[in-house]
Structure 1
C-alpha cells in the first residue's frame, strides 16, 4: 500500500478530514498520559507556549504556530491531515519541528521516551513539512516545560522522510479502518431509519406539529423552544424526526440531555419502541463516574485503580467487540463489560460514545465547564450535533449553579489543620489564600442586607486580588493531586478542594456584567461566592458548538 500525494480529485474516493491531534489520540494508546495529565487552566498552557515562542524568536531562525496541511491518497481514501506545529527552526544544516508540552510531572522524572503520543505528534508535523516542502530529513525537538520553575527539558530525534512515511501509515491505517467501519455501519443504520414509521396508529394532539417543527429546525439550522402539556408525547415527537434527520445526513450525531434519571429512562423506552420495528442505532446512556465506578477507592490513577491500569492499550479491542455485539449501551451493559474485562466503565463509555449515534446524558456532560464532553465540544471539526434538551426550563437554574463558584473560610481552615504537617508547601499556599479572603472581608465592611435570616453584601466587581493566591495553591497542589500519594484521612477532602478552587479560578476568569460577588458570614464563617445571574452566553457558546 502506498501513501501518495493527492493532486487529482477522485470523486469516487471517500474524503476524510482530521487533525494531527485527533489522529494521534485515536491511534496511539499511551498509558503514560494517565500520569501526565495537567489540571491547570488551558490558558496557562498557552502562556507557557507564548513564553517559549518569544524566547526562540528572539534567538532567530524560528517561526511559531505554523499551520501544516496536506492531502494523501491511501487505502482508497483521500485524507486531509492538518494541524499547527508549535514552531519551526530553519537552520543552515537542518530543519527542526518544535513540539511543546507543559509538564505537571517533575522534569527529573521525564525521560526521552516518556510518551509515545508526544513524539507521534511531532513526527506527524515533521512528515507534513517534509512532503509539502520536499525535505528529505527533519529533526523533532520535544520540549517539556515547567512554567512554575521556568525550566525546560528537550530531546531531539532526527527522521528520514521514508521512515516518517512508514510511521504515519501505522496511524492512518487503524483510523481509516475505523472510519470505513463507521461508514458501513451508517449504511446499515440509514436503511433501517428509512424503513421505520411513527410507532403509533396516529399522532396525539399537537404531536405532529411538534415533530414537523423539530425536523424543520434541524433542516434550517435553527433552535426550537417547545412548551407543551403533559401527555402530548414530547419525547417521541422530538426523537422520531431527529432520527429521521440523522438517517438523511442532516446531522451527524444526536444528544438527548436530561435533568433527571427518570427522564433518561423515558428516552431509552422511546428508542426501544423504535428498535422493535427494526431500527439499528448505536445508543449510549452516559452514567456519572461516581455512580458507575467499580473501585473501592475513588482515585483515578493507575497505582490506585486496577481498572485504569493499562486501560489505553487494552480498550480498543474491547470497544470493537462491544460494538459488534450490541446496539444499546445502558448502564448495566457498561458495568458488566467493565467487570468482565477489568477496565474502567466510565472511560469505556466515553470511548464507546465516539461510535454512537445517540447519547443520552445529564445536562452536565454538555454544559458544565467541569465535566462537559471535551472530545465532542472542545475541538469541533466537521460534525454537526443535534442537542435535544428535555425539560429545558430546568436548565437555567442548573446552569447558574454550573457557572457559579464559592470559597468558604471554614473549609480552608479545617483542611489546613489536617495537612500542615504532611504537606507544608500546600498548606502555606492555603494560608495565603485565607489571608487574602480576610483582607476582602475587611474591605466589605458590615453586612447591610438580609434575606431569609442571612446577612450579606453584594458587589459588581470581581475579586481580582484572589487570582495570585488561587494560582499559587493550584500550582502547589497539582503535582500531589496528579501523582502517586498515600491514602490519608484528608485525601478526598483535599482533592475535592483542589477542584473547587480550580473551578473558582476558572469562573473568576470569565466574570462579567452577568455576575455578582456575594459575601456572607464573618471570620471563620466568611464565604465569598461568584454568582452567575445569567448563563445565557455560556449556554449559547456550547449550543453553537453543535448544530
Structure 2
C-alpha cells in the first residue's frame, strides 16, 4: 500500500539543508511584520506581468512512499521570452556583505519552486531571482540564476530521498507503536477502586474530543489511569501526540515512571521530557551564541545525526538521556529536547510551554491540533495561568536605564525618561495611598512605553553589544511583555499601581484566566484536567474555562476509613490572633506528636508563622530529644532531596519536619509506608490579604459568585487537601492528621474537607 506524506517546500528543505549555529542575539519583535510589509511592497511594484503568491504542488513517488510537496513562491514573471521565479527574503544585514553562496536553504527552496513550475508547465529551463531586501528601507539586491530541468530534477530527487530516509525511520517507529498498542495491557493485575472509572472517563473524553474535569482521590493511581487510555487512543482518531503538562519536577518524574512501566510491558513509544533551560544548560552562564557556547556553535550541523541516533536507540528520553546524547553530539540539551519533541509521541513539560503567551513555542503550534492534553495537578493551573497572563512594570528599571544611556543616546534617553516620569506622576499626585486600582489599562503609560520600546529596539539592532546593552535589553523585554498583555486587556483585568518609597509598580493583573484556558485547550483534540483536590468542582470548572457540555467525574478515596485518624484542635490562627496562638500551637505539637514514634510533617500558612511557632516549640524538642528539620525559603534540588531523605522508614525515635502550605513539600511528594506517619496542618491555608486578592474577590462577586470564597477560601482549602494528601498513599499506609484552626469546626470549612476527614475528633 502506498504511504502518503504531506510536507511544505519550506519544511522539507529546512530539514534536509539544516545547518549553522544557535544565535539568541536580539533580532527585534517586528521582524515578521516588517518582512510581510517588505514582501507586499516589492510585490506591488513588479508590474502587470507579475503574479504574486503562486501556489505550487507536486507528488513524488519513491519506493512505496508518495511525497506530496506544496508551497507558495513569492512571485512569477511571465512574458514571451522567459519565465522567472522570484523569492524575496528580508534581512538586517548590509546588502554589500550578502553573497550568492549565502543561505543555502533559501536557494534550495527557490530551486524546488522552479522544478515544480517547470514540470507543471512543460518547461526545460527557467530563470530564478533571489531578492534580498532591507526591512528598514527600500534597498534590495538580486541574484539571478538559470537552471535546466535536468539539473533541477537531480537536485529535487536527492532532497526527496534524504527527507524520505528520515521519514521512513519515523514511519517504522509509528508502525511499531501501533502494533505494540494493539497488544498493550494495563500494567497491573487489577485496577484499584475508582481507577477503571477514571480510565474509562478519559478514554470516552478523547474519543468524543471533549474536556473532562476529574477529581480523583489520592491513591487510586491517577497518573497511569490517565496515561494508559490516552496511549490506547493514539491513532484511533486524529490524535497523534500526548502532551503531559505538569507544574513540578516531581510530578514529571511520576509521569516518566508510568511511561517507563508501559515501555517495560512492551509499548514502543517515544517520550521526551523538557527541562527548563537554566536547569539543563551545560554552561555556567546561559548565553546561546556560538562565541560563548560550543554546544550552540554549529548546533544545526549536528542536529540531524543526534535526532536519528537518539530515536533509533531510546524510548524514554528524560533529562539524563537527553544530556547523554547532547554531550555525545555536542548539542545544546535544551534546544535538543525542544527539537526532539517535534518527533516524539509524548511530550512531558511545564504548563508554560502550552499556556504562557511569552513562552509557548511556535515550533509546536502545528501539533497542538492533534494532541491530547493531560493536565496534572490541574488546581495549580488557576494561579499559574493568571500570572502567565499578567505583566508588571517597575519605574526603577526605566530610571536606571535612562541614566545609563543619557550620555550615549539623547533621543533614547528622553523616551525612557518619559516612562519613568509618567509613573512618577502617580507617586506625586496620589500621596494619600500606596495602592490603587483602575478598571482600564493606563493609556498615557502605554503611549510613552510604545515609543520607548520602539526606540530600544532600534538601538539594540544598531548596538548588538557594549555599554548599557544589558540594561536596555531588560527594559525592552519588560516593556514588550507589558504591551503584549495590554493588547489583550479586557474586563477580566485590573490595573494595580503600588507605591513603596521611591518605587512605583504597575501591574496589568489578570483576575480570571478562564477564557484564555478555554481558548488554548480548544485547539487540542481533548483535554483532561485531573487532581485529587478539584473541590469544589464547580469552582474549578468556572476558573479553568469549563463549559456546560464538558464532562466531569469525582472519585472518592479507595482507602479504608480506619487507615487514617483525624483530629482537630480549636485554636484561632486568624491573623489578628496569631500572636496569642503561638504558644498553644507549640504545646499542641508537643502533646500530639511527641507521644508517637516515627516521621511527621507539620505545615504552616507562611514562613513567618512557621518561624514564630518553631522558636517557641524548639525548647520542647530539646527537652524530649525530638529530631527536627525546617524547610528553607529557597532550596536547591539537592537540598530538597536531602530534606526528603530524612524521612527514614526504620526510625526508632520521633522526627518532625516543619514546612509551608502550598510549598514544594505540600504536594507531589510520595512518602509511603513508615516514611510518613502523621501530618499536622496549621490554619486553613487562606492566601494573605492583599489588594490584588481583594480586587479578585470583587471581580468574582460581580460575576454572581461568592467573591471571598473564590479569592481566598477555595484556594486555601485546596492547599489543606494537598498537604493532608501526603499521608495515605497506598493500601498499607496508616497515620493520623491534626487540623489546627477554629474554622474547621464551622460547617462551611468542614464541608470543604474530603469526606473521610469530616468526622474528625476534637483534641
TM-score (norm 1): 0.86
SS at match of 1:96: strand
Shift of 1:319: 1.9
Shift of 1:380: 5.3
Shift of 1:238: 0.5
Pick the aligned partner of 1:46 from 31, 36, 47.
36
SS at match of 1:227: strand
Match of 1:349 in 2: 337
Note closer, same or farther for the CA distance 1:33–1:263 as it changes in structure 2 (3 Å cut).
closer
CA distance in 2, matches of 1:148, 1:31: 25
Match of 1:7 in 2: none
SS at match of 2:290: coil
Match of 1:195 in 2: 183
Q: Deviations over 1:132-158 (max 9, x none)?
A: 233333333233333233433332323
Map 1:419-498 onto structure 2 (within 5 A). 419=405, 424-425=408-409, 428-429=411-412, 431-436=414-419, 438-439=421-422, 442=425, 446-447=429-430, 454-461=434-441, 463=443, 464-465=446-447, 466-478=449-461, 480-481=463-464, 485=465, 492-498=470-476
SS at match of 2:212: coil
Q: Deviations over 1:211-237 (max 9, x none)?
A: 112111111111222222222221111
CA distance in 2, matches of 1:90, 1:523: 69
Match of 1:321 in 2: 309
CA distance in 2, matches of 1:523, 1:100: 53
Match of 1:400 in 2: 386
Note closer, same or farther for the CA distance 1:395–1:273 as it changes in structure 2 (3 Å cut).
same
SS at match of 2:373: strand
Note closer, same or farther for the CA distance 1:175–1:204 as it changes in structure 2 (3 Å cut).
same
Map 1:56-205 onto structure 2 (within 5 A). 56=46, 59-205=47-193
Note closer, same or farther for the CA distance 1:54–1:238 as it changes in structure 2 (3 Å cut).
same
Shift of 1:272: 1.6
Asked if 1 retains the 8 angstrom alpha-carbon contact of 2:270 and 2:346, the reply is yes
Asked if 1 retains the 8 angstrom alpha-carbon contact of 2:21 and 2:298, the reply is no
Shift of 1:62: 2.5
Q: Deviations over 1:286-334 (max 9, x none)?
A: 1111111112332111122111111111121122122222111111111
Matching of residue 220 in structure 1 with residue 208 in structure 2: yes
Note closer, same or farther for the CA distance 1:101–1:531 as it changes in structure 2 (3 Å cut).
farther
CA distance in 1, matches of 2:514, 2:384: 12
SS at match of 2:45: helix
Asked if 2 retains the 8 angstrom alpha-carbon contact of 1:73 and 1:79, the reply is yes
CA distance in 2, matches of 1:448, 1:393: 39
SS at match of 1:411: helix
Asked if 1 retains the 8 angstrom alpha-carbon contact of 2:243 and 2:373, the reply is yes
Unpaired stretches in structure 2, ≥5 consecutive residues: 526-763
Pick the aligned partner of 1:546 from 496, 503, 524.
524
Matching of residue 287 in structure 1 with residue 275 in structure 2: yes
SS at match of 2:234: helix
Pick the aligned partner of 1:500 from 467, 478, 482.
478
Asked if 2 retains the 8 angstrom alpha-carbon contact of 1:400 and 1:532, the reply is yes
CA distance in 2, matches of 1:291, 1:469: 33
SS at match of 1:225: strand
Q: 47-56 or 220-229: which moved more?
A: 47-56
Unpaired stretches in structure 1, ≥5 consecutive residues: 1-11
- Alignment size in residue pairs: 521
Shift of 1:188: 1.7
Asked if 2 retains the 8 angstrom alpha-carbon contact of 1:102 and 1:146, the reply is yes
Map 1:14-53 onto structure 2 (within 5 A). 14-31=3-20, 34=23, 38-41=27-30, 42-53=32-43
Asked if 1 retains the 8 angstrom alpha-carbon contact of 2:58 and 2:70, the reply is yes
Shift of 1:493: 4.7
SS at match of 1:224: strand
Matching of residue 409 in structure 1 with residue 416 in structure 2: no
Matching of residue 364 in structure 1 with residue 355 in structure 2: no
Note closer, same or farther for the CA distance 1:16–1:100 as it changes in structure 2 (3 Å cut).
same
Match of 2:566 in 1: none
Matching of residue 521 in structure 1 with residue 499 in structure 2: yes
Asked if 2 retains the 8 angstrom alpha-carbon contact of 1:257 and 1:388, the reply is yes
Q: Deviations over 1:188-218 (max 9, x none)?
A: 2222222222122322232212111211111
Note closer, same or farther for the CA distance 1:491–1:131 as it changes in structure 2 (3 Å cut).
same
Note closer, same or farther for the CA distance 1:247–1:191 as it changes in structure 2 (3 Å cut).
farther
Q: 145-154 or 439-448: which moved more?
A: 439-448
Match of 2:266 in 1: 278
Shift of 1:494: 4.4
Asked if 2 retains the 8 angstrom alpha-carbon contact of 1:456 and 1:521, the reply is no
Match of 1:6 in 2: none
Asked if 2 retains the 8 angstrom alpha-carbon contact of 1:253 and 1:358, the reply is yes
Asked if 2 retains the 8 angstrom alpha-carbon contact of 1:254 and 1:387, the reply is yes
Asked if 1 retains the 8 angstrom alpha-carbon contact of 2:111 and 2:152, the reply is yes
Shift of 1:23: 1.0
CA distance in 1, matches of 2:396, 2:389: 22
Map 1:226-245 onto structure 2 (within 5 A). 226-245=214-233
CA distance in 2, matches of 1:220, 1:508: 36
SS at match of 2:13: helix
Note closer, same or farther for the CA distance 1:144–1:408 as it changes in structure 2 (3 Å cut).
farther
Matching of residue 266 in structure 1 with residue 266 in structure 2: no
Asked if 2 retains the 8 angstrom alpha-carbon contact of 1:518 and 1:528, the reply is yes
Note closer, same or farther for the CA distance 1:216–1:77 as it changes in structure 2 (3 Å cut).
same
Q: Deviations over 1:453-495 (max 9, x none)?
A: x4124242463523343223223214545xxx46x7x655544
CA distance in 1, matches of 2:456, 2:4: 48
CA distance in 2, matches of 1:361, 1:215: 22
CA distance in 2, matches of 1:340, 1:380: 28
Asked if 1 retains the 8 angstrom alpha-carbon contact of 2:21 and 2:296, the reply is no
Asked if 2 retains the 8 angstrom alpha-carbon contact of 1:194 and 1:247, the reply is no
Asked if 1 retains the 8 angstrom alpha-carbon contact of 2:90 and 2:135, the reply is yes
Note closer, same or farther for the CA distance 1:511–1:474 as it changes in structure 2 (3 Å cut).
farther
State the Cα RMSD in Å: 2.9
CA distance in 2, matches of 1:61, 1:512: 47
CA distance in 2, matches of 1:33, 1:153: 26
Asked if 1 retains the 8 angstrom alpha-carbon contact of 2:207 and 2:237, the reply is no
